[in-house]
Chains A and B, each alone.
Chain A
């Protein structure tokens, strides 16, 4: 009887160990996806971006061409931009915070795009904030092809 109990105890311990190893990984992935998808333009921000945006050398041109020159109308834009510069999906809105997510929401999907959110340039404060941050990034990344005004 005792050897059987010992085997059962070891088996339970083994399964428990596996479960413990898997669930925190799933939870971390979930938290990372949600964290990634939660990025948006807050009212006090002129420009919002993610650290991994910097891995795409052409991201600033995509932003520049998309919205910085916009004359009037929309307040903010969010786009999922693939590494080749093409856009998967984008949203513009008259409100200050815009987000875009692809479904199903997976970590792989979230990592496949560089999400951008930025304001339009009709408000000088927003333009200043956007160009200042863009300029700072450009100065640290000489490959960025956009002249900063």
Chain B
């Protein structure tokens, strides 16, 4: 961060500082049309997730056998499935679980990736070993590793999905943190801190960790996008979260038997999923360009 920026931030306090952050955010969001669209969609998804059952017309698991396999109509906007369950209500309910899983998986990847990545970027020998292991982990294609982990854990479950997909994405986070730490530690202020006798641990926390914020936020956004796609794939294959929890991937799986008679069972959850993934990808692109243009080359 340039010095005049920091001085400026020290002068600005309280309300005026908040205003600067607010103005910056508005400027970032409105600068590109795609960012604006992405943020708006994410706000809607967040609202849906927060509001929960309150805004859905029917219960996600309410059976209504007389209304089964109905196409989109006035009382069921997106149609119904083979049990007469309302597709819209189920898709809305799936939004909450999707965002929750995406958040938990990104947090899991961060929790492992940040400390390990920092230490391996800071200590060469340790880094050499860790990066070899990271490379080996990344040799397993994402879905194969996640599937195998689900088999090892033994049964479908939300916690198991978080850990399985988290383990898949943690090595990628380690790699991003590692390469950023490598370049950060070459900075003069790190050298100065060392010359002043600051212990390594404090250098890591006070000088490196703070500056890792940008690459980590960007990577976490992409992790979010990829992980919700992967969770959907696991649910689609029937090895993700338990079938009684409505999820986009699970809905598409259930709809396969009725693919000709009732294509809407598959169509709409897929649109929800693609929209969510697209918004996170767009947000990730925009954040990357804004926070750390150099990152484009690493990732």
Question: Does A associate with B in a complex?
Answer: no
Residues of B participating in the A interface, judged by any CB pair closer than 8 Å = none
